[in-house]
Chains A and B, each alone.
Chain A
Amino acid sequence: MLNVLAERSWGNVRPSQVHRAEATRRTFRLQLSKHRDVQRIHSSGINSLDIDPIDYKFMLSGGADGVIAIYDLECIPEVKEFTCETVCTIGRSNRHVHKHSVETVQWYPRDTGMFTSSSMDTTLKVWDTNALKPAERFVLGKGIYSHHMSPVANKHCLIAVGTIDPHATLCDLKSGSSTHILKGHKASVVCVQWSSKDEFLLATGSRDNKILMWDIRQAKGSLMSLDQHNGEVVKGSSAVSTAHSGHVNGLCFTENGLHLVSCGTDNRVRLWDTLNGKNTLINYGKVSNNMRKCIEICTSSGVQPDVAFIPSGSDIDMFDVFSGETDSTMKGHYNNVNCCVFHPLYQEVYSGGNDSNILIWEPDMGHIHFEEPPPKKLAGASKVKKFNGNEINATADTWSSSDEGD
């Protein structure tokens, strides 16, 4: 850090490089936050999280109980105990609440005044954040696994929706109707994802083990189907051009939109080249995944080697996207993790799981809380932390004197 700053002061490096260096450093030191947590709203599993892309201040969460909550993530740094309070919730008492579990929530990419949510009660709702009322309601007729709005779209306002039906639907916010149906899958579409750079490029993953890439301007069908074997004929597999040997239930584009990370119930993670649809054949190892629904995986932004966060059972694995190495395993949830989302500004990860916890993973930078009084003798109040291997307080060890006696 000091090196980089010195280099910067000498003008050897550009500001973005400093930023990237620091962000990378922080990202690779993610730890379960010790002082911050998120207010508990959901009584059952968290299915979806989303941080608003405008000023990264608010976070949406959708739970299996149908409840949607909005949290304020901003906090004063260096405060000992901090809980991210909810700004508002759409609880069970709300008249417009989803009947069944909320599968996906997403902010409107341009403004926090609007967000969308889809649920197993077959409806996709567009909410007015200030009024907490649905401004628009799409009834898809089938349970919805996931939906997504293009974060970069200027020319259209389409929401891609994946349902139990074997086709993806495009809902147009402008007209308030589902305009397109994308046919190509043979089983329910579990996950949909717009490209982070190309506003017309859409990827859909399905239970038929395929990932299809679509250009929504093209009428004739999907652009391509991603093939895990890159077109080579492999003995024993009869299926043609499958992306995984199991259901595809997680998709995420890298920040630059050049690659697509996918995960499936074959416990594998694959990285695809978006341009030619080739499997990059990077081995990420086994990532336990037995979810039957969509899981939200995320990639970092502003970090030099791109990092992907992929839920694996009750842990979250952090992968170096291009080498496939596991940088760390984030253990903290007590049940399956459904979703994780990366905070681009603070380099934090928020994750939600079936244990109804939303956990904050923040960079452990070895800060010392100076405001803390020196060794307190409060009974059992072991507020003291160990940082960089230095033991500051001895409250931790309490070997009884009787032990010393013998």
Chain B
Amino acid sequence: MLVLTVYALLECEFNPETGRTPVPSPLIQPSGKEKMAGEGGSLDHEVLMQMASLVESLTTSGQPALDQDTMKQLKKICKVSDAYVEHCFHLIMNQLEEEHSEIRLSAFQVINELFGRSHRFRELLVADMQDYMELTIGTSVDVPLPPPKPAAILLKEHALRAMQEWFNKFGKAYKKLGLGYTYLKNCKKVDFVNIQARSDAERRRAEERQRRLEQAQAQKLNKVTKEMDEIIPEIQESLTQCENCFQLLLPKMTFDDLDDDVSMATSSTQFQSKKTPKPLPQQKHEERKLVNKRPQSEAEKDADRTKDGLSHNSKTSQNFKHDSERSSGENSSVLSSGKSIFDIGDEEDDTLEGGQPSCVSGEIKRDHRRTKEGEEDVECGSNLKVDGKKSEEERRKGASKADGTSESDEGEDDSDSNEMEDIVGEERRSLLQQHGLPSWTSININIDLGTEGVNIKEDEDNTDVLQILEDQQRLLTTRYLTKLNSWTEILTKLGKSDKVKHLIDLKREIQAKQDKYKDLQVNWTHPHKKKSSGSSRGKDSPGCSGVNDSRGGGGGKGKDIHSDEEDDDDGFDAVPDKEGYESDIPEELREEYGLDRRPKPSAPSQETPSVDWHPFRDADNDILDPASQAGSIVAMKEKLKKIREETRLPPGYHVIPAKKTKILTEEERKRQEMLKRAPVVSFGTDLAFWKNPEDIKAPVILRPDTDARTWIGAVQDEEIVLESVKDSLKTRVMSFTGSFQAVKWKCRAPLRNGKLCERMDRQKCPFHGKIIARDELGNPQEGSLSVKKETEEQAKTDTAAWQDPELLRDIEGATGLDLGSTSSGRTGQKGKGGKGKGSGKKGKGKAKKYPGLTDIRKINKTSRNRLEKIVMNRGAVKRVAAAMGKVDQKKYMDRFGNNFNYAL
């Protein structure tokens, strides 16, 4: 600046055009200066300032393109004189040296603009060509382009392109420019001819990559389709097998309402329906009696269930035992299996009426039956136990004898009981009318579907079928399902929706089969067979009946139970109680423990010779041995007895029997009571320093004054006070005596993926807050509003706690990250001091200064860097090294410290 001003002065003196006398200090006269700046090469301070601000705003915008208006202003200034150009050049070069690629990019763009216009600028730049190239193109390996990488790449590319243009335009005039160009071309191997082509090559590479990807995908697809072609028939076969098995086990399985047809039985299957839905055969029978010829539909029986049906059912256990002709194994079984239980009911009816016993054996027991027809049914041989409490309605209807008919009418509806009411609605009235019932009587019929399903007991007849079914199921779950899943995954990725659809259908089918199988709840009665079959180790154990979850999952659990119950012989020996030690001593005996109540004589130990002999334990219990604990205790007891006999014990002594306390004075009674309340403390430091525990002194080692000074060396202290041990004397360790209670609930807050939170916390889920009652969808149930409020409030306080400026500042201090405490601290800006904070603020201020720029420091703020700062910290490394050295030293001293040969 100074030089430039002087230059301006000189210019003034020789400026012939102004025709003025030399101005001694042109800086004082702004108007004249401005004029001179326009005409000659003198410089105006203000203009320079303006230029500086222009350059700064241009280069720190962070935009990929320059602001045209600002640029025009700058050019306008530069046009005035070469001096301005020079100044501008220096300004820009300073900006170019910034360690920020975005600034450099903008600076380069300014340079590019000016380079094309000003000869002086070109001269200056060409003179500085090496530096320029280092800063924009990154020619020097030691000085790579600074951080924001995209900007750096852009900068390099643009700079190269500009280099090419400049060379074409000005190469001949500026030798060094040409040299730089050839240098780039020859030494740096920059392919100027086709910078574009380079990107072409990149594109080609990308295409190649894409092609390879597609190829791989096609291969994958081929593989999958091949596999599918092979395996899908197998799956189909397996499915049909399953289906057939089901057919064999449960005829008429084609009905959707598997749950409904409980009482169905195949020839060799026993149905145990604990809670039978279809009971109410009684009503059926009533109906039968009333309307003999009327065919009964299935729904009718469903309709039988009234509100009380539930209670009926709970009390009722019905056994439908069909040992029918079907058991003869004729094909007819298949036919009949096609019918539902209601058909069976029909058959029963038939037998009733037609006198043909279709059910050979069986009985129906009915209680509280008003009609007697039931007994006839009993004759017909079906084994039906009906706890026949009827609902009020039924009773009413039964009394009127019309209800049966009405219900039978209704029963003509579809078997699907759920739909029944809807469908029935229409017909009902007319039917009621038909049966002479007044249409205004509303009839409530509740139908309880047997959700428990069926239990199939394995027996000799169906065992093979069940085996096959089991195997197929396993095959489906373990093999095919996983295969299907992987296929779906691959095909979804490849976007073959049609095939995926197919697969999903298949999967659904398999799942349906699995569900069906689960519903069967097979009761295995031949566990040994299963075990011996070897195919299903760890499979469902017969021990756990009834609960048939997924067989694989149930396996482990079942086995455990099984082993508890049955496998007494494997491994676990009964461990007898330890002699001489009783884990729990009754409270009232505690005082006298060890004196009066001896543990049981060691009779059981003799019974279990497997217990190891233990010298101490056995010695303790040998009463004859005076040195043993037991022996000495016996001796002491005798002594005590003697003493007691000889001398009356002092009153109030706590061992005195209760009877004697009668004589105690008031004071003594008090004392007695206090004693009762007093805690029992084992002898130890606690007891010794009961009154003032502060008096506990650190243990002291007394060193005897020996003659062996030669070996020991001079003894500095005869007493060594172990201060550190004092703490251990004061420490009390006690174990938690309560029993662990497993958490039985889940958080069940709705998650983003549609599932419910599976966390099992006692009170508060770390993610969803306090555990509250929720419905199936995970929405908070009662008092949801208050709950919501609470959660909201909690969230508020949470964020408030998180954003506590003090805490944030601490964290920032520890991590060196800017968490925004300064901005959030606007509410309460305490403690402005702090060195780290000051620097942080500075950085922030700078970032604010150039909001357009990418923050380079942020790029470096990775967790790795942060950790590195801590771990690779010099102090830390030194500490670690010192610690390691110490360990080594110690090892060495342990080994060789006493050996003078190796003395250091």
A359 partner residues in chain B, CB cutoff 8 A? 179
Nearest chain A CB to B483 CB, angstrom units: 62
- CB contacts under 8 Å to A, within B178-195, are 179-180, 182-183, 186-187
Whether B508 is near chain A, meaning CB under 8 Å from some CB there, is no
A399 to B130, CA, bound (A): 26
Nearest chain B CB to A126 CB, angstrom units: 31
* Stretch of A102-110, A195-203, A327-335 with 4 or more beta carbons under 8 angstroms from chain B: A327-335
> Do B79 and A334 touch across chains, with their CB atoms under 8 A apart?
no
Q: Mark A31-61, 1 if CB is under 8 A from B, else 0.
A: 0111001001001000000000000000000
* Stretch of B116-124, B385-393, B637-645, B875-883 with 4 or more beta carbons under 8 angstroms from chain A: B116-124
A354 to B173, CA, bound (A): 24
Residue in A closest to B80 when the chains form the complex, CB atoms: A399
Q: Most chain-A CB neighbours within 10 Å: which of B120, B133, B172?
A: B172
- CB contacts under 8 Å to B, within A348-406, are 354-357, 359, 380-386, 395-400, 403-404, 406
> Do A396 and B179 touch across chains, with their CB atoms under 8 A apart?
no
Pick from A32, A357, A395: contact of B183, CB under 8 Å = A357
Given contacts A357-B179, A403-B76, contact A396 B118 (CB under 8 A): yes
Residue in A closest to B168 when the chains form the complex, CB atoms: A380
Residue in B closest to A31 when the chains form the complex, CB atoms: B175
Nearest chain A CB to B70 CB, angstrom units: 12
B175 partner residues in chain A, CB cutoff 8 A? 32-34, 37, 332
Pick from B123, B127, B168, B183: contact of A355, CB under 8 Å = B183
B473 partner residues in chain A, CB cutoff 8 A? none
> Do B117 and A399 touch across chains, with their CB atoms under 8 A apart?
yes
Nearest chain B CB to A291 CB, angstrom units: 16
Interface residue SS majority, chain B: helix
B169 partner residues in chain A, CB cutoff 8 A? 380
What is the interface residue range for chain B against chain A?
20 to 34
Pick from A335, A385, A396, A400: contact of B120, CB under 8 Å = A396
Q: Most chain-A CB neighbours within 10 Å: which of B79, B123, B130?
A: B130
Whether B551 is near chain A, meaning CB under 8 Å from some CB there, is no
B120 partner residues in chain A, CB cutoff 8 A? 396-397
Whether A314 is near chain B, meaning CB under 8 Å from some CB there, is yes
Given contacts A335-B187, A355-B183, A398-B117, contact A403 B130 (CB under 8 A): no
Give the A-B contact count at a CB cut-off of 8 A: 75
A78 to B123, CA, bound (A): 23
Given contacts A356-B186, A380-B169, A383-B173, contact A331 B127 (CB under 8 A): yes
Residue in B closest to A315 when the chains form the complex, CB atoms: B130
A386 to B123, CA, bound (A): 10
> Do B117 and A334 touch across chains, with their CB atoms under 8 A apart?
no
Whether B748 is near chain A, meaning CB under 8 Å from some CB there, is no
Nearest chain A CB to B387 CB, angstrom units: 104
> Do A43 and B186 touch across chains, with their CB atoms under 8 A apart?
yes
Given contacts A403-B75, A404-B79, contact A397 B186 (CB under 8 A): no
Pick from B118, B170, B182, B186: contact of A382, CB under 8 Å = B170
A384 partner residues in chain B, CB cutoff 8 A? 173
Nearest chain B CB to A359 CB, angstrom units: 7
Interface residue SS majority, chain A: loop
Whether B176 is near chain A, meaning CB under 8 Å from some CB there, is yes
> Do B75 and A357 touch across chains, with their CB atoms under 8 A apart?
no
Residue in B closest to A399 when the chains form the complex, CB atoms: B79
A34 partner residues in chain B, CB cutoff 8 A? 175
A17 to B139, CA, bound (A): 47
A158 to B130, CA, bound (A): 42
Q: Mark A315-342, 1 if CB is under 8 A from B, else 0.
A: 0000000000000000111110000000
> Do A398 and B116 touch across chains, with their CB atoms under 8 A apart?
yes
A18 to B187, CA, bound (A): 44
Pick from A355, A395, A396: contact of B187, CB under 8 Å = A355
A335 to B118, CA, bound (A): 28
> Do A356 and B170 touch across chains, with their CB atoms under 8 A apart?
no
Whether B895 is near chain A, meaning CB under 8 Å from some CB there, is no
> Do B182 and A357 touch across chains, with their CB atoms under 8 A apart?
yes
B130 partner residues in chain A, CB cutoff 8 A? 314, 331, 334
Nearest chain B CB to A349 CB, angstrom units: 15
Pick from B117, B172, B186, B187: contact of A400, CB under 8 Å = B117
> Do A396 and B176 touch across chains, with their CB atoms under 8 A apart?
no
Whether B20 is near chain A, meaning CB under 8 Å from some CB there, is no
A10 to B770, CA, bound (A): 114
A261 to B172, CA, bound (A): 37
Nearest chain B CB to A206 CB, angstrom units: 28
Pick from B118, B176, B182: contact of A332, CB under 8 Å = B176
B182 partner residues in chain A, CB cutoff 8 A? 40, 357
> Do B173 and A382 touch across chains, with their CB atoms under 8 A apart?
yes
A37 partner residues in chain B, CB cutoff 8 A? 175
Residue in B closest to A400 when the chains form the complex, CB atoms: B117
Whether B732 is near chain A, meaning CB under 8 Å from some CB there, is no
B129 partner residues in chain A, CB cutoff 8 A? 334
A398 to B114, CA, bound (A): 9
B118 partner residues in chain A, CB cutoff 8 A? 396-397, 399
B75 partner residues in chain A, CB cutoff 8 A? 399, 403
> Do A397 and B187 touch across chains, with their CB atoms under 8 A apart?
no
A354 partner residues in chain B, CB cutoff 8 A? 187
Whether B691 is near chain A, meaning CB under 8 Å from some CB there, is no
A367 to B27, CA, bound (A): 39
Nearest chain A CB to B128 CB, angstrom units: 8
Q: Mark A147-158, 1 if CB is under 8 A from B, else 0.
A: 000000000000
B123 partner residues in chain A, CB cutoff 8 A? 386
Nearest chain B CB to A90 CB, angstrom units: 20
Q: Mark B60-100, 1 if CB is under 8 A from A, else 0.
A: 00000000000010011001000000000000000000000
Nearest chain B CB to A232 CB, angstrom units: 37
- CB contacts under 8 Å to A, within B327-380, are none
Nearest chain B CB to A332 CB, angstrom units: 6
> Do B172 and A334 touch across chains, with their CB atoms under 8 A apart?
no
> Do A403 and B183 touch across chains, with their CB atoms under 8 A apart?
no
Nearest chain B CB to A384 CB, angstrom units: 8
Q: Mark B626-648, 1 if CB is under 8 A from A, else 0.
A: 00000000000000000000000
B172 partner residues in chain A, CB cutoff 8 A? 381-383
B168 partner residues in chain A, CB cutoff 8 A? 380
- CB contacts under 8 Å to A, within B36-79, are 72, 75-76, 79
Nearest chain B CB to A222 CB, angstrom units: 39
Q: Mark B108-145, 1 if CB is under 8 A from A, else 0.
A: 00000000111110110001011001000001000000
Pick from B72, B127, B139, B170: contact of A334, CB under 8 Å = B139
Pick from A332, A380, A400: contact of B179, CB under 8 Å = A332
Nearest chain B CB to A340 CB, angstrom units: 16
A382 to B120, CA, bound (A): 13
> Do B183 and A334 touch across chains, with their CB atoms under 8 A apart?
yes
A354 to B186, CA, bound (A): 11
A335 to B170, CA, bound (A): 22
Residue in B closest to A37 when the chains form the complex, CB atoms: B175
Nearest chain B CB to A380 CB, angstrom units: 5
A383 partner residues in chain B, CB cutoff 8 A? 172-173
A37 to B182, CA, bound (A): 13
B133 partner residues in chain A, CB cutoff 8 A? 334
A254 to B36, CA, bound (A): 51
Nearest chain B CB to A81 CB, angstrom units: 8
A332 partner residues in chain B, CB cutoff 8 A? 175-176, 179
Residue in A closest to B127 when the chains form the complex, CB atoms: A331
> Do A380 and B170 touch across chains, with their CB atoms under 8 A apart?
yes
A23 to B176, CA, bound (A): 26
Excluding A331-B176, A355-B179, A403-B76, 18 further A-B contacts by CB distance (< 8 Å) are A37-B175, A40-B186, A331-B130, A332-B175, A334-B129, A334-B183, A334-B187, A355-B183, A356-B186, A357-B183, A381-B172, A382-B172, A395-B119, A396-B120, A398-B116, A399-B118, A403-B72, A403-B75
Chain A to chain B: the 6 pairs with minimum beta-carbon distance, closest first: A396-B119, A334-B183, A382-B173, A380-B169, A399-B79, A403-B75
15 A/B residue pairs, CB under 8 Å, sorted by A: A32-B176, A43-B186, A332-B175, A334-B129, A334-B130, A334-B180, A334-B187, A355-B183, A356-B187, A357-B179, A359-B179, A380-B169, A395-B119, A396-B120, A399-B118
